[in-house]
């Protein structure tokens, strides 16, 4: 995992990091963000797998952002031939930042397609979460819950029906999401916003869109949630959701992509 982290971090720290910093500087008072993601995986009609993330400042909540976008672009871009001028202008205003990872066939994350690597990863995170319960007693209860989920997932891998291919894809996506959360934590403000400050941010950054108020919270600068913690928890949750989703063709073993 260290090699994967170093590879991605080295790549991002070439030119993308400067663009990302410039984007964050537009929102100096914002300490809460949310991220949307979409994927093109195992589609034989496409040349590569692609994992995309879009980061928005929490100056509006999710439903409010949805209303803003829907007011400018009624139809999904995949199903229309013309994009509205207002939506084109919106994409250039700097309200969001996109990360797109193109995963060619011979990429650094390919090790996560191997059963042995995934089994080893589960074993390591079970041991880590057991150790964290001792070394970080303040969060022992939370780590215990994660540990139980990891063990349950480990038991599931012993079943013949366990889908290692899908599990590997989930791990890759969680790793990339965890990295971006770590990256964001390096540059965010070191305080928690109040309701009043949140309302001020809405007026400052999203004038004329909405007038509602919500509490925005963040985490300290340079102290993003532990990457391994996020990765361990997200992996379990995401795999469980994929298995339970009846519309997910990958979970059904059809291999048509996510």
The predicted structure's pLDDT at residue 41? 85
Q: End-to-end distance of the chain based on CA atoms, in angstroms?
A: 24
In the chain, % of residues over pLDDT 70: 72
Strand order in 33-40's β-sheet? 33-40, 49-57, 97-103
**Mean pLDDT for back-to-back runs of 10 residues, the chain (258 residues):** 77 86 88 85 87 89 86 84 88 89 82 88 91 91 92 92 89 86 75 44 48 32 45 53 45 42
Contact 253, 163 (CB under 8 A): yes
**pLDDT tens-digit readout, 22-68:** 999 888 888 888 888 888 888 888 888 899 999 988 888 888 888 88
What Rg value do the Cα atoms of the chain yield, rounded?
20
Give the dihedral sign, CA 183/184/188/194.
Answer: negative
The predicted structure's pLDDT at residue 140? 92
The predicted structure's pLDDT at residue 232? 54
User: Is the pTM here over 0.85, yes or no?
Assistant: no
Burial class (CB in 10 A: 0-12, 13-18, 19+), 110: middle
The predicted structure's pLDDT at residue 228? 52
Three-class secondary structure of residue 98 per DSSP = strand
């Amino acid at each position: 995992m260290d090699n994967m982290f170093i590879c991605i971090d080295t790549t991002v720290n070439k030119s993308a990091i400067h663009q990302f910093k410039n984007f964050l500087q537009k929102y100096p008072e914002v300490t809460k963000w949310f991220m949307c993601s979409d994927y093109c995986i195992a589609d034989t009609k496409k040349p590569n797998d692609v994992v995309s993330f879009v980061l928005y400042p929490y100056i509006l909540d999710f439903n409010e952002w949805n209303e803003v976008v829907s007011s400018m672009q009624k139809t999904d871009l995949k199903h229309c031939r013309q994009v509205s001028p207002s939506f084109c202008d919106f994409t250039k205003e700097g309200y969001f930042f996109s990360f797109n990872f193109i995963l060619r066939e011979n990429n650094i994350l390919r090790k996560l397609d191997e059963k042995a690597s995934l089994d080893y990863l589960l074993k390591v995170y079970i041991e880590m979460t057991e150790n964290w319960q001792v070394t970080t007693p303040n969060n022992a209860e939370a780590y215990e819950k994660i540990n139980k989920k990891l063990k349950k997932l480990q038991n599931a891998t012993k079943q013949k029906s366990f889908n290692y291919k899908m599990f590997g894809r989930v791990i890759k996506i969680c790793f990339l999401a965890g990295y971006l959360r770590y990256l964001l934590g390096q540059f965010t403000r070191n305080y928690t916003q109040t309701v009043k400050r949140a309302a001020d941010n809405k007026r400052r950054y999203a004038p004329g869109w909405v007038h509602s108020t919500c509490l925005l919270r963040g985490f300290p600068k340079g102290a993003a949630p532990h990457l391994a913690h996020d990765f361990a928890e997200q992996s379990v949750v995401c795999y469980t959701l994929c298995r339970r989703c009846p519309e997910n063709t990958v979970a059904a073993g059809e291999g048509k992509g996510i």
